[in-house]
Structure 1
Amino acid sequence: MQSFRKSLLDTLPALRAFARFLTRNASQADDLVQETVMRALTAHDQFIEGTSIKAWLFTIARNLFYETRRRHRRESEVMEDFSAQAALNGDDGQAPLTDTRARVHELEREIWKLPPPLREALILVGAQEMTYEEAAAVCGVPVGTVKARVSRARSHLGRQLSSDEAADAGTDGGGEA
């Protein structure tokens, strides 16, 4: 049990980052991590020694997230619409973004436009640095499905970001000779 708890503690930063990305809200991410840890401690005897505790915890967190999301679907949709509209209107009360920060925000917006299965696979493999096998275990799908989802997500983002840059270049210097 002691090594299980140490492994769990060592995984908390990555678990919090994953929860933060899922929820897009620091407070909700903390709640998700807390509930995930509570369930993991309660079910620690179900953990198979020698397997990835990170994948196991991410699976618990993912299942909790979708369970909570189903319960509060309407509330989440209203809040996401409000947040998205505020971001589009620039009503966040911050100074104008630098070019780099603007690109990061654009990438985040494009990632959130991806279908959930593609977005999830990309985040697990790309941002969380999980292996395809670990991500497949978290998602409950074959490894090949995860590879295909990551590939499609990367291709989609590449096309979207390239077309956005081309559109921006066309409007930036369009009136000068």
Structure 2
Amino acid sequence: MTDTAIRPKEFDDRVMQYLPGLRGLANKLGLRGEQADDLVTETVIEVLERWQNYREGGGFWNWLYWTMRGRYTNAKDKKKLPMSDRPIEDYEYSLSTLPSQEGYAELSCTLSRLTGRNGSVLVHRAMGDTLDEVGAIIGVNRERVRQIEMAEREKLRAAA
């Protein structure tokens, strides 16, 4: 980020709640599989980088929608997949290992299984949110969050 302001955690949480909607929009645009995943990922990266551009009056979904449409139109005009125009090392986070195409495919497949409220519970927990924080987001108590998390983990293990 060029600004010294720190993006609020609530903003990141809000973006994550819209992942299923963004996946659906990518499908409506005619993208499937890896192309759809790439568009969703690139949209999320852009939104997180430009978080200070969001204005509450316009509606959060509208902002996400038009950001994705813009990325899609630009990629379509350039006749290429919606891939980032800068190397991964430039992002403001560090990775312990460099990503591989195989690892990305496996992660994309796993994340595609995490849909709806139960999937968002697992994603929030993976991002480090506490049981209480997740419970406040989805409107249940911490024990119910723990139960949902365990059930989703078991589903993923069974699918592996």
The normalised TM-score by structure 2 is 0.47
Higher helix share: 1
Query: Normalized against structure 1, the TM-score is what?
Result: 0.43
Looking at CA atoms only, which structure, 1 or 2, has the larger radius of gyration? 1
